[in-house]
Chains A and B, each alone.
Chain A
């Protein structure tokens, strides 16, 4: 049973790397996890998910205003870009870069479209992280030990 779950988890995580959802920075976090901080990855991922949800809410609120303050929108996009880069959430990070370009252009349409995209990508990523962390937490620890050996 454990072996089957480990394989599934392995497949999930590998797929996230292969499809560009995650990049090397996530591996850096995996390698930092150790016996003195056995829940490090899940803690950082949880912080990212909470932060991301908050920021996406703010972005929606800001873009809903009759007079959009694009500098403010940009600063939220910048925050999300930063935290996604720090956890290795490559796809979300890249979309945030696009987002900031629309902010520079003062394009509300562009921002709204990109917000939709970043929201979809963020929640997809969050769901996958939740599978990793909540459904299979102990398996994750085994996986992380194994993946360090493989890398």
Chain B
């Protein structure tokens, strides 16, 4: 994967400083700060990717209601940027919309599964369209699950109960 190159191995999770490659500094990469209001009663950290502000708010709330820590981003490119630069600590799951402008969720899934650093992270795809081909392609590419939108709390709790954190 093209983006895999630059960053050195991320610093261990507890370290406050993250090694950042020189190239990244030139770009406008804003460090991600997890929402202070989150109650972190377990360490599960979910990265939610969706270009829709409405859907980001809903999926974040559903996940936070299950006491997961959530970081939301609005594009797959941004998500990859944060993951590859080690700016999101210890992501335990990625949940992403399928159809987004620029890089799709499917492409994000492929990049994650191609990356030796990221491939162990379960990736869940969400879509408002029930297209059997699409679903099977995502699962074949290594998606953990495929959720139809609008996503409900019951979908997420069913999903999360199956994942071994």
A44-B37 in contact given A37-B64, A51-B52 (Cβ < 8 Å): no
Size band of the A side of the interface?
A: 20 to 34
A6 within 8 A of B: no
- Bound complex: CA A79 to CA B53 (Å): 11
B55 within 8 A of A: yes
Instruction: List chain A residues, Cβ under 8 A from B54.
Output: 44, 47-48, 51, 82-83, 86-87
Q: How far is the CB of B53 from chain A (nearest CB, A)?
A: 5
Chain B: residues with Cβ within 8 Å of the partner, total of 20
A86-B65 in contact given A32-B153, A36-B39, A47-B53 (Cβ < 8 Å): no
Q: Which residue of chain B has the shortest Cβ distance to A79 in the bound complex?
A: B52
Q: Which residue of chain B has the shortest Cβ distance to A88 in the bound complex?
A: B150
- Bound complex: CA A27 to CA B58 (Å): 13
Check B37–A36 contact: CB distance below 8 A: yes
Interface residues in A27-70 (C-beta closer than 8 Å to B): 28-29, 31-32, 34, 36-37, 40, 43-44, 47-48, 50-51
Check A86–B39 contact: CB distance below 8 A: no
A85 within 8 A of B: yes
Check A25–B150 contact: CB distance below 8 A: yes
Q: How far is the CB of B130 from chain A (nearest CB, A)?
A: 12
Residues of B in contact with A (beta carbons under 8 Å apart): 37, 39, 52-55, 57-58, 61-62, 64-65, 99, 101, 128, 149-153
17 contacts between A and B (CB under 8 A): A25-B150, A28-B150, A28-B152, A31-B153, A32-B65, A34-B65, A37-B64, A43-B57, A44-B54, A47-B57, A51-B52, A79-B52, A82-B54, A82-B149, A83-B55, A85-B149, A86-B149
